[in-house]
Amino acid sequence: MSIEGTRLAGRYRVTARLGAGGHGTVYAAQDERLRRLVAVKLLTENADPELLARFQREAEILAMIKHPNVVAIFDVGRHDDGAAFVVMEHLAGPNLAHVQFDAGCLSVAQTLRYAVPVADALVCLHEHPTPVIHRDLKPQNLVLDADGTVKICDFGVSTVPEAMLTRLTRPGMVLGTAAYMSPEQWRGDDPDRATDIYSLGAVLYALLAGGPPLRMQGGPATCARRVEREAPEPIVDRCPSVPPALADLIHAMLAKSAAARPTARAVRDALRATATADAARSPAGDVDPAVQEGDLLLAAGRYAEAARHFTDLAHRLRDVGDVDPVTRVAAEFGRVRSRFGLGEEAVASLRLVRLAARARAALGDDHPLVRQIDAYLDVKSR
């Protein structure tokens, strides 16, 4: 049922449906009192008391969390029909699932740009006086704002591991998203901080390799056995450009034993060190600013603008003549990704195959940009 135009609590006028998840539906709304755009998560109308309690607890805890990479909570309330809602900051998007889909796989630098602040947010959540475990970290729940800042969202299945709080999930209850769930989640065990570390490790693997560490095919029992027993393919086999230190960190985060995984603080510090080393190896000046500008448009989901930008850039480069081949290939790669984003699959697929061949001829099989294009081609060919 559409609720566009409805006023919640006489204040929040719903304007559009944004999506669903975590036992609720998220809408864009106008806060008519403060004259700002917000996001409103409306809980399922027939939610049971346990879910209502968890929903209320989510809002209470998150309202206490102040971190630039955690979605801000503004208000909670009840609609006329009794449905509970929580009011959050509105994020322009896209989420990292869309970013990864558009890119095929992200470069090490791009991945670290998102990974470091997310890990820092986990430090804040895990080390808060009232610690919070998210339990459903995945690319879809990592959303960009208008400035490109990544924020952790959707705490609908989060938990607060304190004995004095009422347990809000039943023993043995499995909550989370299959491809990013830890072995202990599949067993239905009580989650702890290491659960989020596993999920973040799976997210980093997916961003770099173009997909999660294990394929979740078959029923729940089959998936659970796979997660508990099957080792992921080494990430360097799927993405050779990943530095050894980062590869080791990701596989440590994916350890089957929760006790063997690093803490959020250790992960953040290791990611920061890797980002510093990566920046030293590949200074920003080596990447044409015009290519960077186009990549930012793609990351923001502004595909038509990105297509125009990369087309203009490619034309300018042809007019100049003597241009660095990396810049030329990067510009053409941006054009192809823009076309995929616009839904022009047939034309974009043909151009991608041709570009991959030209890139190998110009740069060699082992060039990082060639490997990125090949990985993107592999994802789009599935």
pTM of the entire predicted model: 0.71
The secondary structure of 289-318 as a DSSP string is HHHHHHHHHHHTT-HHHHHHHHHHHHHHHH
Sign for the CA dihedral angle at 124, 129, 132, 133 comes to positive
In a domain, 113, yes or no: yes
Q: Which domain holds residue 66?
A: 7-89
Check which CATH number belongs to the domain holding 308 and give it. Answer: 1.25.40
Specify the number of domains making up the chain: 3
Nearest 5 degrees, angle CA 303-CA 318-CA 375?
50
In a domain, 183, yes or no: yes
Check whether residue 148 and residue 211 sit in a common domain.
yes
Determine how many CB atoms are found less than 10 A away from the CB of residue 369: 18
In a domain, 361, yes or no: yes
Check whether residue 243 and residue 312 sit in a common domain.
no
Domain boundary among 89, 106, 139: 89
**pLDDT string in tens for the chain (382-residue length):** 568 888 988 899 999 988 776 567 888 999 999 999 999 988 766 667 777 777 777 677 778 888 999 998 898 888 877 778 889 899 887 899 988 887 778 888 889 999 999 999 999 999 988 888 888 899 999 999 888 889 998 775 455 554 323 333 333 334 457 889 899 988 888 788 999 999 999 999 999 988 889 877 767 777 778 888 888 889 988 888 888 899 999 999 999 999 999 999 999 999 999 888 776 665 444 567 788 788 777 766 788 888 899 988 888 887 776 667 888 888 899 898 888 888 888 888 899 999 999 888 888 887 878 877 887 787 677 6
Check whether residue 192 and residue 226 sit in a common domain.
yes
pLDDT at 45: 61
Distance CA 197, CA 262 (A): 7
Nearest 5 degrees, angle CA 186-CA 188-CA 194?
75
The secondary structure of 223-268 as a DSSP string is HHHHHHHPPPPPHHHH-TTS-HHHHHHHHHHT-SSGGGSPPHHHHH
Distance CA 272, CA 274 (A): 5
Check which CATH number belongs to the domain holding 208 and give it. Answer: 1.10.510.10
In a domain, 2, yes or no: no
In a domain, 270, yes or no: yes
Check whether residue 177 and residue 320 sit in a common domain.
no
Cβ(95)–Cβ(144) under 8 Å?
A: yes
Check whether residue 243 and residue 132 sit in a common domain.
yes
The reply to whether omega before 243 is within 30° of 0 (cis) is no
Determine how many CB atoms are found less than 10 A away from the CB of residue 287: 16
Distance CA 338, CA 359 (A): 18
**Residues catalogued as catalytic:** 136
Burial class (CB in 10 A: 0-12, 13-18, 19+), 16: exposed
Domain boundary among 61, 89, 117: 89
The arrangement of strands across the sheet holding 12-21 comes to 7-8, 12-21, 24-31, 36-43, 84-89, 73-78
Distance CA 168, CA 40 (A): 22
Check whether residue 106 and residue 156 sit in a common domain.
yes
Check which CATH number belongs to the domain holding 37 and give it. Answer: 3.30.200.20
Query: Which runs of consecutive H residues, i.e. helices, occur in 39-157?
Result: 49-64, 96-103, 108-126
Distance CA 196, CA 137 (A): 7
pLDDT at 159: 56
Distance CA 212, CA 226 (A): 13
Check whether residue 261 and residue 337 sit in a common domain.
no
